[in-house]
Structure 1
Amino acid sequence: MGLILPEHYDPRLSVRETQEAIKYIRDTFQKEFGKEMNLERISAPLFVEKSSGLNDDLNGVERPVQFDIAGVPGETIEVVHSLAKWKRMALYKYGFQPGEGLYTNMNAIRRDEELDNLHSCYVDQWDWEKVIKKEERTVETLEATVRNIFKIIKHMEHEVWYKYPQAVKKLPEDIYFITSQELEDMYPDKTPKERENLITKEHGCVFLMKIGDKLASGEPHDGRAPDYDDWQLNGDILFWFETLNCALEISSMGIRVDEKALEEQLVKAGCEERKNLPYHKMLLNGELPYTIGGGIGQSRLCMLLLDRAHVGEVQASLWPEQMRKTCKEHNMILL
């Protein structure tokens, strides 16, 4: 995307006021989110054993940060990219039942991320997962869950407005649903990102469904690992973000693969060897619960609600010195 420098940008809050607002949003949202979604907060790891197969492979090309531990000889340890698979295992181990779920503060390092207004090598999100019944693996379940999350985010807009009326961004009143194939049919001559921007600008907030499988054009809308989301029952929540003139992804989520979807998607992705990993064996043997889950970006949500032009304004991370200097000249103070 490259660095975007909005003209006449005004953050409207000082750095210290911003820090106070970040804490308020994070504390308030997770409390409301847990209550509305019937989720318990649990502790989560920063790293996992490579041999477990629990790390999220994202698009399959990103390199996890790896190291060894003296007390666990012969094992490669990986900093998590996300907790997509770990959460499902936790629901199984802790005995969660249908309708019950968990959320956790997930911190990750993505060393290959291109650094710009929206992307950082440090990822902070609320990872959540909920047990559902097999018969609930439907589009209706997915859409109802998305509407509930949208309602919680809208409620946060009002909460933030009470405390920071001069800074809060006005959000749309509803969320629009569309599949990646419908979107390609609408704009066949556009790139996936251009399509996302066009549809999100039109509707304000969009849930873009069915991401990962090949479209009629022969290419997927975007990459998705084959072993957590069911590509027919997933999607991204996108808000139109006028400050940067683009769609802002707040959440990637979906109903997770069952045995059949995992088999099919591993073949499509050319990753059939993963069937021998412990997690995948359990899933194929029907030992793990059926679940729905996703991640909600903590810094992205703060960016959205406070109308900030750079994720570094609401998150402490590493940035090139020249980027810090340029941003400061345009009233974007990176933490």
Structure 2
Amino acid sequence: MSKTTIPSGYRMPLSNNELQRAIELIHQEFQHSLCVRLNLHRVSAPLFVDGRTGLNDDLNGVERPVSFDIPDVGTDGQVVHSLAKWKRLALKRYEFPEGTGLYTNMNAIRRDEEVDNLHSIYVDQWDWEKHISPKDRNVLYLKETVRDIVGAICDTSAALRNAFPALTFKPDRDVYFITTQELEDRYPDLTPNEREVEICRKHHTVFLMQIGKTLASGKRHDGRAPDYDDWELNGDILMWNPILERSFELSSMGIRVDAAALDRQLTAANCNQRRELPFHKMLLNGQLPQSIGGGIGQSRLCMLLIGTCHIGEVQVSLWDADTTKTCEDAGITLL
């Protein structure tokens, strides 16, 4: 059975040709605005890494990376899940000074993703990382960075509406900040996903903070790997999606762990075996720069700003037969 939902009366907002031009415009405008606001410079990114290094992200700890042997190299390669760790190492290798950072176009395969309107096994995002001072490891700096990213999204939306007057979505620049514990206290009888829907319904642009830590209920709002974000200084940028009438995650980001936070979180997550991996040793020994970073979904942003109801309208991937038929019956073209 297809997990795809087609809103009543939905029609693709642009022709296929217009859609491609709109996607190109979003990429150009957003990359430029993000780089200017955060002082970032583009670098090339890996499609795969050596699985022995600990550089690949394990997300919630259950996703299987796509692996393949490389006979001439004598090791297995792992297609990346994301670049959270790799980017921080790149800051050091490329000698980015404090106050500057990098961004890259990241492409990944997440074979265990459950595909629906928002999820695909193919992931495309702008991954970014910025070298910060130890004094910037605080909530104020985190919030300022979130506002800069939301500003770039709003600037991109304005340019898109100017080029394609048929598009009407206008994101809210005002960001509502709330922690996962505050959200649980406000809606104790709802699931984490239902809480996100309700808070975004009321406050259209939300930054949900402190993801990964255990809440007063004894549960976590959502999983977050213990070795990149500091669970006290991270969060997700969520916006209200009027087409799907739900909360819509655009970015997962945060100030990265320092040695103390990594030590604490590895123990809390029962992942102490990672202490012996090369990346983790460098971090625990204070050999990597302090940083803030995240990923911003490219297809997700295109979906929201253009107003499509399925991620397959703005990216090429593979879909099950039921999803394909559901979309065909609704007149929706999956790329």
State the match for 1:281 in structure 2.
281
Hey, what's the Cα distance between the residues in 1 that align with 2:18 and 2:318? 21
Aligned residue for 1:76, secondary structure, equals: strand
Aligned residue for 2:237, secondary structure, equals: strand
Is the 8 Å Cα contact of residues 11 and 167 (structure 1) preserved in structure 2? no
Q: Give a deviation string over 1:139-198, Cα, whole Å, max 9, x none.
A: 000000001111111111110011111024122241100000000000111100000000
Hey, what's the Cα distance between the residues in 2 that align with 1:144 and 1:170? 21
Is the 8 Å Cα contact of residues 91 and 102 (structure 2) preserved in structure 1? yes
Q: Give a deviation string over 1:202-244, Cα, whole Å, max 9, x none.
A: 0011000000010000011000000000000000000011211
Q: Is residue 68 from structure 1 mapped to residue 84 from structure 2 by the alignment?
A: no
Q: Which amino acid aligns with 2:220?
A: P
Hey, what's the Cα distance between the residues in 2 that align with 1:237 and 1:327? 28
Is the 8 Å Cα contact of residues 150 and 173 (structure 2) preserved in structure 1? no
Q: Which amino acid aligns with 1:23?
A: E
State the match for 2:55 in structure 1.
54
State the match for 2:25 in structure 1.
24
> How do 1:56-135 and structure 2 match up within 5 A?
56-73=57-74, 75-135=75-135
TM-score normalised according to structure 2 size: 0.98
Structure 1 gaps of 5+ residues are none
Is the 8 Å Cα contact of residues 212 and 221 (structure 2) preserved in structure 1? yes
Q: Give a deviation string over 1:25-78, Cα, whole Å, max 9, x none.
A: 1122112211221000000000000011000110000000000112111x2210
Identity, % of aligned pairs?
A: 58
> How do 1:1-335 and structure 2 match up within 5 A?
2-73=3-74, 75-335=75-335
Hey, what's the Cα distance between the residues in 1 that align with 2:80 and 2:115? 19
Aligned residue for 1:249, secondary structure, equals: strand
Alpha-carbon offset, residue 109 of structure 1: 0.1
Q: Which amino acid aligns with 1:294?
A: G
Alpha-carbon offset, residue 249 of structure 1: 0.3
Hey, what's the Cα distance between the residues in 1 that align with 2:162 and 2:214? 45
- Structure 1 runs of 4+ aligned residues shifted over 6 Å read none
Cα root mean square deviation, aligned? 1.0
Is the 8 Å Cα contact of residues 9 and 331 (structure 1) preserved in structure 2? no
Alpha-carbon offset, residue 81 of structure 1: 0.1
In the comparison of the two structures, how many residue pairs are matched? 334
Hey, what's the Cα distance between the residues in 1 that align with 2:30 and 2:305? 11
TM-score normalised according to structure 1 size: 0.98
Alpha-carbon offset, residue 322 of structure 1: 2.3
Worse overlay, 325-334 or 149-158: 325-334
Is the 8 Å Cα contact of residues 176 and 207 (structure 2) preserved in structure 1? yes
